[in-house]
Amino acid sequence: MFGQQNLSTRRILLAWLLVTPVVLWRLLTSVYPFLRTFYISFFDNSPVRRTFDFVGLDNYMALTRDANVDATLTFTLFFTVTSVALQVVLGLAIAELLNQRFKMRNFARAVNLLPWAMAPIVIATAARWIFHQDYGLINDIIWRISGERPLWLVNFTTARFAVTITDVWKNTAFLAVIFLSGLQGIPLELYEAAKIDGADGARSYWYITLPLLMPLIISMIIFTAIFRVLTFEIVYALTNGGPGTATSLLSYLVYLEGFRVLNFGYASAIAMLLFFIVLIVGVLGYGFLRRAWERL
């Protein structure tokens, strides 16, 4: 009996010994920076002015009066909703296509992953060339058809469109692979039974595929929405938040205030706003996910 207790104790100690480095690393790289950011958000902290004065909620109150924050929040919402919707729809379509039997299917699946496997900076640099006014691929096609060359990255509306499309191009492949794995997990017997009952392909997809994929779809919507809110590299490399602040996301505004203006206190307050938005998205998404699982 005592031997078993000693063995159990040793196993618990070994488990803690193995887990402790990871826990310490997470505390060092995640928990401490979060707590430090939260702490600094209550101070007027600027190395330029050499200030570190406690200001209470002044930084948070300033958020409500800042027109840049309002504009950035609006574009962040637009960018997130549009990008997530396009990625989910296109991801489902590509997954359905890659799930069919055809020659070089494995090659097509590998090629599909290329944009996602590339660094965001590489994709954004390629997009700068594609959307360039004078020698961009898209403008070359438009010029041959209409004789015009739109200013994609200079115009307020088209710049937002360019950023959103670039993000969709970069990340849709990942969702397609996830949805493909979900499609391959659906038993073929269900489709065979539906076919016997007279259901065509569209009905089978609507009444079998989508309901069974719904928990996975909701999970990917949550995952994708969170990472869209946190997007930084594509905006930084493609438009630098311009023209003006038209394509600035909250994450990019944190960078501007923190590393260009060097207003660490205000940047920390924006970062905390960003954190609470991500938290709300996660909590609401978890609620929808639970309901989806309960319906199965």
b/e sequence 112-141, b meaning 16+ C-beta within 10 Å: beebbeeebeebbebbbebbbeeebebbee
CA contacts within 13 A on the Cβ side of 252 = 25
Q: What is the second-level CATH architecture of the domain 41-295? A: Orthogonal Bundle (1.10)
What is the pLDDT, as a whole number, of residue 275?
93
What is the pLDDT, as a whole number, of residue 5?
59
Contact 235, 248 (CB under 8 A): yes
What is the pLDDT, as a whole number, of residue 4?
58
What is the pLDDT, as a whole number, of residue 253?
94
* Encoded amino acid at 186, one letter: I
What is the pLDDT, as a whole number, of residue 2?
46
Which pLDDT tens digits describe the chain residue by residue (296 residues)? Answer: 545 556 677 778 888 888 888 888 888 888 888 999 999 999 998 888 888 899 999 999 999 999 999 999 999 999 999 999 999 999 999 999 999 888 888 899 889 999 999 999 999 999 999 998 888 888 888 888 888 888 889 888 999 999 999 999 999 999 999 999 999 988 888 888 888 877 787 888 888 889 899 999 999 999 999 999 999 999 999 999 888 888 999 999 999 999 998 999 999 999 999 999 999 998 988 888 888 777 76
Residue 142 to residues 124, 125, 131, 239: CA-CA distances in angstroms?
Answer: 21, 21, 11, 21
b/e sequence 143-165, b meaning 16+ C-beta within 10 Å: eeeeeebbebbeeeebbbebbbb
What is the pLDDT, as a whole number, of residue 48?
80
What is the pLDDT, as a whole number, of residue 79?
96
Q: Name residues whose C-beta falls within 8 Å of residue 229's C-beta, 6 or more positions apart in sequence.
A: 76, 80, 249, 250, 251, 274, 277, 278, 281
For residue 229, which of 20, 67, 77 has the smallest C-alpha distance?
77
For residue 242, which of 61, 68, 15 has the smallest C-alpha distance?
68
- Rg (the chain; Cα; Å): 24
Q: How many CB atoms lie within 10 A of CB 295?
A: 9
Contact 158, 151 (CB under 8 A): yes
What is the pLDDT, as a whole number, of residue 177?
94
Burial of 50 (0-12, 13-18, 19+ CB in 10 A): exposed
